[in-house]
Amino acid sequence: MIAPPVIILDRSQLAENIGAAARVMANFGLERLRLVAPLKGWPQERAWATASGADWILEGVQIFDTVTEAIADLNVVFATTARPRETRMPVRTPREAARVLFDEAARGLSVGLLFGGERTGLETPDVALCHGIVTIPIDPRHHSLNLAQAVSINAYEWRTTVEDAPPAAFRDADPPARAELVMGLFEHLERELDEAGFFFPPEKRPSMARNLRVMLGRSQLSEQEVATLRGVVHALSKGRGQRLQKLLEKRRDTGGEPPVP
């Protein structure tokens, strides 16, 4: 059986929207709901009132402190946002995204949809953790869309894709690595680049690091590829240290002053 996407709501403000999102999830066969730092805590009684009986979804809610933690075990995550926010990622409609997520889920991968808070939407660093962007093609004269409405549109397209899909075709390609493994690669690479002085000038570090994350995330690296790249980073940093040590030894043997690292 193909597992539906995990729905992740980041910093939701209103219990009513959480409950309404649970209601439409139940309508279209989605069951796993995760909340990232809900602003009024959890549980919230009013969520049950607007869920209209979709209690099993609210009772199974998982709470996380950060988006990074909430998506750590997922292979493919799409960010739902009205604008790309300075990231060069594939931008899809909910229908296109549902097709991609269905194909990945049919391969046994864990997939998810990330939604931002009602007031500010998703922050750029959180979008950069995802593998693509979903944008609902609404009329520009009135582009305000309720959180639960956005969830319902994406849930509907998922359900339609499931109903219309032929028997799943499995590809031989290795699946993308879990988000926690990719995050480990990001952090490892950034530490070594900090050490090497790559991020210059310092004020450009956030945007440079974000661009690196987007570039690597867009590649949908497999677990083996992540392990290989981490080995490459380690070898390069180890080699740099060995070269410096040899230079220090040479200077010491010849009576010269040690170089400044």
pLDDT in tens, 84-141: 556 678 899 999 999 999 999 999 999 999 999 887 788 889 999 999 999 999 888 8
| Predicted local distance difference test score (pLDDT) of residue 246 | 65
Handedness of CA 66, 71, 76, 80 (dihedral sign): negative
| Predicted local distance difference test score (pLDDT) of residue 222 | 86
| Predicted local distance difference test score (pLDDT) of residue 17 | 95
| C-alpha to C-alpha distance for 31 and 61, rounded to whole angstroms | 9
Range(s) of the chain covered by CATH 3.40.1280.10: 6-164
Amino acid at 34: R
User: What CATH number does domain 6-164 carry, 3.40.1280.10, 3.60.9.10, 2.40.160.20, 3.30.300.30?
Assistant: 3.40.1280.10
Taking 50 as the pLDDT cut, the residues of the chain under it are: 168-170, 261
The stretches of the chain forming alpha helices (DSSP H) are: 15-27, 45-51, 55-59, 67-70, 94-106, 124-127, 147-164, 179-196, 205-218, 223-253
Please, are residues 124 and 88 in contact by the beta-carbon 8 Å criterion?
Answer: no
- What's the chain's average pLDDT? 87
Please, are residues 80 and 154 in contact by the beta-carbon 8 Å criterion?
Answer: yes
| Predicted local distance difference test score (pLDDT) of residue 179 | 87
Grouping H, G, I as helix, E, B as strand and the rest as coil, residue 80 is strand
Please, are residues 127 and 8 in contact by the beta-carbon 8 Å criterion?
Answer: no
Instruction: Indicate the pTM of the whole model.
Output: 0.70
pLDDT in tens, 72-86: 999 999 999 876 556
| C-alpha to C-alpha distance for 174 and 150, rounded to whole angstroms | 31
